[in-house]
Structures are given as C-alpha cells and as structure tokens.
Amino acid sequence: MDDITFAVLGTGGIGRRALDLPRHKDGLTPVAACDRHGIAVDPDGLDVDELLAATAGDAAGGDARADGGAGGGRPADGRAGGGAEAGGAAVERGGVAASAQAEPTETPIDDAIAASDAFDAVLLALPNLEHDFVPRVTDRFVEAGYEGVVVDVLKRSRVIGMLDERADDFEEAGITVVCGAGATPGFLTGAAAIAAQSFVEVESVEIWWGVGLESGYEDNRGTVREDIAHLDGYDLDAVRDLSDEEIEGIVDAHGGVLEFRDMEHADDALLERAGICDAADVTVGGVLDVRSDEKPTTTTVRVTGRTFDGETATNTFELGDETSMAANVNGPALGYLTAAVRRNRAGDYGVLGPAELMPRF
C-alpha cells in the first residue's frame, strides 16, 4: 500500500511519542502537529527531531485543564485552546510555536483541518476532559468536508455512543473513525475479542493494567488527569477545574501510586458493540505509578466463558512488563490508523472499534 501521511492533534506525552514512533516504522510520515500555541505543517514530512527538541520541557504546552495533551484551555466556542490566555493577552511563544517549522495560532484545530489535504489520517491525542469534546472535534472535520481517517484514544464508555450517533455523518462524508484505539481501550480490547473466540458464551472479561511513568505528571498531564477522574470522589468536571499543583497534591497523597477499580472504561462499550459480551460483564482496573518506569503490576486480560462442548475455561493474555505505556498506546494507535487508511481507501466509512479491526504492523 502507498505511504500514509498523518497529523497529530495534541503534543502532550501521547502526541509527542506518536511523532517519534514512525521513525522506527516504514510507510508512516507525520506532516502536521499542533497544540494550543501553534501548528506545524509540511506535506513532505515534519522535521521531527527539530520539533521535539523545540518543545522539550513543554510536553503539555502549559495549562492542561481543558484538553490536556492538546496543551491548554479550551474556549467556550469549542476550539482546542488558542494562543491566548484568559482575557485575550498574548502568550509567550512556546509549545509547537517554538519550532522553526511552526506558526503561532489561536485556532489550532481549525488550522489543522484547513491543512487536511496534506494528510490521510489524523490522530486525536486530546484527553477528553469534557465528555463531548472529541466528538465535537470530529463534527468540525465533517463540516469542513474532510475525507480520511480519524483515530482517537478515548477512554470513557459514554463517548463511544456519541461517536456512534454520528456514524451516518461520517459515512456520508467519507470518514473512517476508529474509537478507543490505544492500549486499553484498544489493544487489550482486541485481545479480549480474540480470546473470546474459544467460547460460545462469554461470562466475564477482566482487564487489569499496570503503568509506570517515571517522567511523572509534568510529561503526562492529560493521561494522569483522565485517570484521576476515575478515583472515588472525583469525576471529569472536578478534575478539569483542578490546578496542576492540586493534581500533584493528589499524586503525593497516594505516594505516587494510584489504584483504580471498576473504572468507566470504554472496553465494555466496545466489546458489546462488537457482539463479544454485554458491557456489564466487563470490568477494568489498574495501577499507575507516576514515579517509576517499572510497572507496578502485570497488565492482564482474562476472558472466562463456556465452550460449545460445555466446558468453562479462562483464556489469559499478558503484556510483557518491559513494554512501556508509550509502546502499548502509540504502537496500536498507529497500527489501527494504518489499517483504517486501508479500509478508508476501499470505501469503508463510519465508526469502527478495536474489537472489529486488526491493527496493521
């Protein structure tokens, strides 16, 4: 298949690694990247070394309260943040705008959409700290007449339904959307769907993940914020309004190790829409260590079911403890992106989940 060009919206931890990974794979070329400060576009391929060096130390691009990995606050009009602080005062040139390839902007997503003729696919590395934020971003691609692939790494179950409600619009526009295409949901959702093939009835799916982030909150603001919203006593609204200092205080209060149980995680909705099992039969939990790259627990998928000959068994899938979050999120995300471009070029539009599509290596 022909080479694939893609854009990354949001240059927090996930976005930066998505730009870096294609240097180790053939056929993928990042041609655009934006955060709230600026946008860089080069149809021949970005100078990733220069871009990452220019944004080093500013991985989240500043205030992460509204869109995290996109690098900052989002105005009420739905844009993914701008190059201005509250009150309209100009911000210092930082984030992507610090790159020699970039231009500062107050409308980064609109500018990315305007440049969409340069790319086949877009990875939305935007933490969804408002339930309908990413779905509304996809609306803007539809309205602009974009034809191509949109891949997200959404975590919340209820957001999958919002994208499904837009399926007809995507099909009419010629857009193929892959939702929840990271590690979990994503890679592990797909693993559960394969493990379920041994059974005629799936009784339960248990996903238990472990992530170590020695680089800490500073380089992973969006990810950590979204996860904290799953702790008892917190939700997305509460977490979105917390300052960075308050988030770091929560991390400190837990000794840097956060444990989650019965998360509202999109694996359940994605497995149900693929016909694997009922959403109620899926449980997701895990442990996040913000101060160590060593995983605090082994990431495991356990699928229990009944075989056609009446036996009950459990199929188990484990990730190697040596694989990092970056490898397990960005590798699958770009693998799903590659597979989706293939489907899109064949005229297959609409919404797909990671249990319905095999990522392409």
- Confidence at residue 128, expressed as pLDDT on a 0 to 100 scale: 66
Low pLDDT (below 70) residues in the chain: 1, 57-93, 128-129
- Confidence at residue 55, expressed as pLDDT on a 0 to 100 scale: 84
Per-residue 3-state assignment (H helix, E strand, C coil) for 274-317? CCCCCHHHEEEEEEEECCCCCCCCCCEEEEEEECCCCCEEEEEE
- The CATH superfamily of 4-182+326-352 is NAD(P)-binding Rossmann-like Domain (3.40.50.720)
Its pTM stands at: 0.88
Q: What are phi and psi of 103, to 5 degrees?
A: -125, 140
- Confidence at residue 71, expressed as pLDDT on a 0 to 100 scale: 35
Contact between 161 and 131 under an 8 Å Cβ cutoff? The reply is no
What residues are labeled active site? 155, 226, 230
**How do residues 31-56 score in pLDDT, each as one tens digit?**
999 998 999 999 999 999 999 998 88
Pairwise CA distance, residues 256 & 263, whole Å = 19
Task: For the chain, give every domain's residue range.
Answer: 4-182+326-352, 187-321
Pairwise CA distance, residues 84 & 298, whole Å = 42
- Confidence at residue 42, expressed as pLDDT on a 0 to 100 scale: 97
- Confidence at residue 236, expressed as pLDDT on a 0 to 100 scale: 83
- Count of alpha carbons within 13 Å of 52, Cβ hemisphere only? 16
- Confidence at residue 220, expressed as pLDDT on a 0 to 100 scale: 78
**How do residues 265-294 score in pLDDT, each as one tens digit?**
999 999 999 999 999 999 999 999 999 889
- Confidence at residue 58, expressed as pLDDT on a 0 to 100 scale: 56
